[in-house]
Amino acid sequence: PFSFSLSPFPSPPLPSSPSSGSQGQFPLTQNVTVVEGGTANLTCRVDQNDNTSLQWSNPAQQTLYFDDKKALRDNRIELVRASWHELSISVSDVSLSDEGQYTCSLFTMPVKTSKAFLTVLGVPEKPQITGFTSPVMEGERMQLTCKTSGSKPAADIRWFKNDKEVKDVKYLKEEDANRKTFTVSSTLDFLADRNDDGAVVSCRVDHESLNSTPQIAMQVLEIH
């Protein structure tokens, strides 16, 4: 039976004899994820290369570097390493608009390319809790809302009362004006109970850009 597979990277045909020549000459790249404002390193490697030029270009198809020569006037882009086997560049102060598919080209005949997707994470702003008026009378309905903007992808919000998670909450996600990031909000809806007087309600925002240190907003309840 004959079978074949489609892979995103073109793989050179397996050599029938030990002498594979320049067939292993495909550029190799890796996708990169970086937090907004951080630095992205884009590396392109070639195992075997006989004096063939390497080039990095951005999602708009503009050349960034051709070997060790800078082609685009952008102070944020710098050369890390240029050799026959590698072309590495760095992009500092990355913005959401830098996201997209970057291309490394090896100028053989025909040109061989490899793509690297740069994903930029939007950092959520410090959350704020609104809706609390003090004091609240026992039996009154309380609605506390926690909100954070600027996350990409949308951040996760969780509520805790005295460090115990409260599960029954509403979650709302809206696109920000830039069409890239999100404002997320969550509402905690409950009846004031005398046992909750002095309780600490906290809203915790988790996001992959926060390096596993959640952002937290707190509110102490005052119930009469």
In a domain, 150, yes or no: yes
Answer yes or no: is 192 within a domain: yes
- What's the number of domains the chain is made of? 2
Backbone angles phi, psi at 11, to 5 degrees: -105, 135
Indicate the residue among 103, 121, 139 that finishes a domain: 121
CATH code of residue 77: 2.60.40.10
The answer to whether residues 99 and 166 belong to one domain is no
Domain-embedded: residue 208: yes
| Residue 61 domain flag | yes
Work out whether the CA dihedral 72, 77, 83, 86 comes out positive or negative.
Answer: negative
Asked if 135 and 59 sit in the same domain, the reply is: no
Same domain, 165 and 211: yes
Contact 188/144 with Cβ under 8 angstroms?
A: yes
Cα–Cα nearest to 102, from 69, 77, 130, 129? 77
Of 52, 86, 121, which marks where a domain is finished? 121
Instruction: Report the C-alpha gap between 138 and 222 in whole angstroms.
Output: 10
Q: Mean pLDDT for each consecutive 10-residue tract of the chain (224 residues)? A: 43 41 75 97 92 95 97 97 96 97 95 97 96 88 95 96 92 94 95 91 96 92 92
Look at residue 1 and tell me if it is in a domain: no
Model pLDDT, residue 19: 36
- On whether both 99 and 138 belong to a single domain, the answer is no
213 shares its domain with 160? yes
Q: Which of 99, 121, 143 is the endpoint of a domain?
A: 121
Range of the domain at 176: 128-221
182 belongs to a structural domain: yes
Instruction: Tell me if the pTM is above 0.85.
Output: no
